[in-house]
């Protein structure tokens, strides 16, 4: 369903949809009330849309009733229109405009996959009470090198097969039937959109991208913004050691056997993680 700018409709509340409307040009599900609890902003991964979060938001209603939650469709995804630029910085700016228009004060920003990187950059630049990173490494170089090595296939007729290879690494098969259906039904891997979001990986030197992320991590480290990683498999020891150095405040929760989608495999547990952020301290 496409939504006209400025419109809103009531959706079935028991499914975690809340009110569907447009905020700062982005389609959102807006649930709950603004109160003394920290609001939550939920950002889905590349090719997916905001429906990915609905089981977790429905579970949160039981754990932390009426908590304010805004789940966004990223630019070009779901019901949000395409944008001229999809750089990490420009997408973070678009989210900040939506946060301001929704009058969300220093939210906890939750990002799945690439959006965990976007959430990290957001928290380094804008008032944020904390970040939840859902199954995304912050060491960007290995992925950047992989995508650059696949440039010819991704830009040509081999895109579909290459995307299938990337999707296979997400281990959707570890989810049960209904969970798999949610993941598959919310994914629209359009070649033009995927390439637009990855344009920086093709155009910028890998070292430059690493340095860009390192600056964001240094800002978070200095401010001691609370940072939770929810992973679907045990982290590699070297990566966990690196993470502890660059973000000493980061804590890691692992739900083995849930692949790239721990929030989908365990919506009740994930809702408990969301609820726990209500008392996260203000960063210095």
Q: Kindly report the backbone phi and psi dihedral angles of residue 252, in degrees, each rounded to the nearest multiple of 5, phi listed first.
A: -125, 130
Q: How far apart are the first and last CA of the chain?
A: 42
What is the Cα–Cα distance from 94 to 207, expressed in whole angstroms?
A: 25
Q: What is the largest CA-CA distance in the chain?
A: 52
Find all residues with CB under 8 Å of 262, minimum gap 6, and list them: 134, 135, 230, 231, 232, 255, 270
Q: Would you tell me the crossing angle of helices 114-125 and 206-223 to the nearest 10 degrees? A: 50
- CA separation for the pair 122, 115 (Å, rounded): 10
pLDDT reported for residue 12: 38
Q: Can you tell me which residue has the tokens 């001691």?
A: 224
Total number of domains constituting the chain: 1
- In a domain? residue 80: yes
Supply the CATH number for residue 165's domain.
Answer: 3.40.50.1820
| CA dist., res. 278 & res. 36, Å (int) | 9
**β-strand 69-72 against 26-31: which pairing, if any?**
antiparallel
Is residue 44 in some structural domain? Answer: yes
Please report whether residue 3 resides in a domain: no
Structural domain including 196 reads: 8-279
Task: Give the pLDDT score at 176.
Answer: 95
Per-residue pLDDT tens digits of the chain, which is 284 residues long: 333 333 333 333 345 566 889 999 999 999 999 998 999 999 999 999 999 999 999 999 999 999 999 999 999 999 999 998 999 999 999 999 999 999 999 999 999 999 999 999 999 999 999 999 999 999 999 999 999 999 999 999 999 999 999 999 999 999 999 999 999 999 999 999 999 999 999 999 999 999 999 999 999 999 999 999 999 999 999 999 999 999 999 999 999 999 999 999 999 999 999 999 988 887 66
Q: Which helix (H) or strand (E) element contains residue 87?
A: none
* Position 284 in a domain: no
Cα-Cα-Cα-Cα torsion 27, 134, 67, 82, nearest 10 degrees, comes to -10
The b-or-e profile of 227-241 (16+ CB within 10 A means b, else e) is: bbbbbbbebeeeeee
């Amino acid at each position: 369903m496409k939504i006209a700018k400025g419109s809103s409709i009531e959706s079935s509340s028991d499914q975690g949809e809340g009110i569907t409307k447009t905020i700062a040009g982005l389609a959102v599900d807006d649930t709950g009330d603004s109160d003394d609890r920290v609001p939550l902003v939920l950002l889905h991964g590349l090719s997916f849309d905001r429906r990915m979060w609905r089981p977790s938001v429905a579970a949160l209603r039981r754990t932390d009733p009426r908590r304010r939650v805004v789940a966004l469709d990223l630019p070009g995804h779901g019901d949000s229109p395409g944008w001229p630029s999809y750089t990490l910085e420009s997408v973070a700016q678009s989210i900040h405009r939506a946060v301001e228009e929704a009058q969300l004060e220093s939210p906890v920003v939750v990002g799945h996959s690439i959006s965990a990187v976007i959430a990290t950059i957001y928290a380094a630049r804008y008032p944020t009470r904390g970040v939840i990173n859902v199954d995304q490494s912050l060491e960007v170089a290995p992925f950047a090198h992989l995508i650059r090595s696949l440039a010819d296939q991704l830009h040509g007729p081999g895109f579909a097969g290459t995307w299938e290879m990337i999707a296979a690494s997400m281990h959707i098969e570890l989810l049960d039937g209904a969970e798999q259906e949610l993941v598959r039904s919310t994914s629209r891997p359009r070649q033009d959109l995927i390439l637009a979001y990855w344009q920086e990986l093709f155009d910028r030197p890998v070292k430059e991208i690493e340095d860009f992320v390192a600056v964001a991590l240094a800002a978070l480290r200095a401010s001691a913004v609370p940072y939770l990683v929810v992973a679907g498999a045990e982290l590699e020891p070297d990566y966990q050691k690196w993470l502890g150095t660059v973000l000493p405040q980061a804590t890691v929760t692992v739900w083995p056997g849930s692949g790239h989608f721990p929030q989908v495999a365990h919506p009740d547990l994930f809702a408990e993680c969301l609820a726990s952020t209500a008392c996260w301290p203000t960063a210095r």
